[in-house]
Structure 1
Amino acid sequence: MEKPWKCEDCGKGFKGAYGLKRHQRSHTGEKPFTCSVCGKGFITPHELERHQRSHTGERPFPCSQCEKGFTDIGNLRRHERVHTGERPFTCSDCEKEFTQLSSLQRHQRVHAGERPFTCSVCDKGFTRLAHLQRHQQVHTGERPFTCSVCDKAFTQLSNLQAHQRVHTGEKPFICTVCDKGFAQLSSLLSHYVTHTKSRPFKCSDCRRGFKSSQLLMSHQRVHSEERPFICSHCTKSFRTSSNLMQHERDHTGKSPFTSPTGKRFTRSSLTEPQCHSHQRETL
């Protein structure tokens, strides 16, 4: 179809003058249609109308399958693919399919190595704007998501939701082998390896295998001699947090492990042999 109206900035063609004029606002930044409630500007009256529904709560496009409402027909069409399973957008590199064109375009950056969203502080690049915004909180120290129980703050809503399970005791991720529950999906995935002989996490220095990335990271400190866990009392450093906790009991005098005779120990590994010695004394 002929598109005789050409944009002088980018060469894109349009069927009519109105389409060209609307497009040119993307270059000029002009947003002549303004929301009377919040003052936000828009390029087209249709965009303004759709935005105003966020203030009124109007969702005139309901899904016929689940009755969920949407502010515009485009969002409804995309949602309907959840029910139909339709994925009309296919990656030409790996044939992975997507329900939305924007999802395909983001995915293709993985193949192209493109990272168009760059941090102004450290120049680190990201494939998605949301990932950049999340990263910038590292520099600002912003933690906008706060736990209502203990006031602990998080950079991401998903981290807050995972943390709240500590308080509720909820463990929605269930192992299909032994029915053990976990608060986080990552913990469940790590647990699955315990049911196999697989040790997929290999040390690049000695090729020793481990069942989890955490165990591998702990082991690699043997090679790097890194000791990131530092005692707040004497500045002595340790490779693992458990070793640090055991050491700090020497300063605090806390003895969390108790033998059947009532004697207390700072390490659970000491409890069993001590119990045997008590048993021998009573025989």
Structure 2
Amino acid sequence: MSSPQTKQKGTKKPKPHRCQQCKKEFISRSALMTHQRIQTGEKPYSCDQCGTTFTTSGHLKRHQRIHTGEKPYSCDQCGVTFAQSGSLKGHQRIHTGEKSYSCDQCGTTFTTAGNLKRHQGIHTGEKPYSCDQCGETFARSGNLKVHQRIHTGEKPYSCEDCGQRFTQLNSYNTHRNIHTKEKIYPCQECGKVFSSYDSYHRHERIHTGVKEYQCQHCDKRFYTSSTLSVHERIHTGVKEYQCQHCDKRFYSSSDLSRHERIHTGHKPYCCDKCMKSFTRNSYLKKHKCV
């Protein structure tokens, strides 16, 4: 009597669904259909709040958390909550100090693969994403998408407390902390606490002294890619941010935002002692020193 066959461990699942365009194979028909939408550009899932469209229902669901404020993923170390599981994983590495992604060019280490990939663009100089309106090129598709809002005027992120709108999610999150006063990212070197991961990460480079972003025109170096981008416009003369009230133009979105407060009278920085408000954070700091 023959012994019963045992199932082999590690056997790969069959992938019976093949893309006719690139011959890539998939386990399920739904995965194939999602893949095909990337090639066709089809985005059948639309947000009922702002009209943004997506290739998958999962991407739409994550996006809708921007509007609902839902943050279902919570850090078990400090209780901070996140809208996406990937953001939680990246945050948890702040507590563990883990930086498992290393650049093979300069040895700089990163907490996420995405941060490493963005960093590697510094060495290659590759900017494959081009704006069809003005021709400016970008290393990341996300940067191109944010840039295109300059042309369209789109500001998809709205503050629930004061109604101010923003073109970028990180600008919105930073603004929200004006209302909540929440500070959640502590520096391990000096103990200073920051309200956003971007602010914390920029501050961290002060201790390391690493200025990894170098200008191709004058060799000046910077801590952040955004500071480098603003600096390079001095060489190119590009002032892509235009005031909607007086047509004055600026090198950076932050300069534009400060200028527009002259027209709107908006004073987002408020003293928690006397409730006096200011157009700039630096004015608030001077006020507190009095």
The two structures have a TM-score, normalised by structure 1, of: 0.47
- Which has the bigger relative contact order, CA under 8 A and spacing at least 6? 2
Bigger Cα Rg? 1
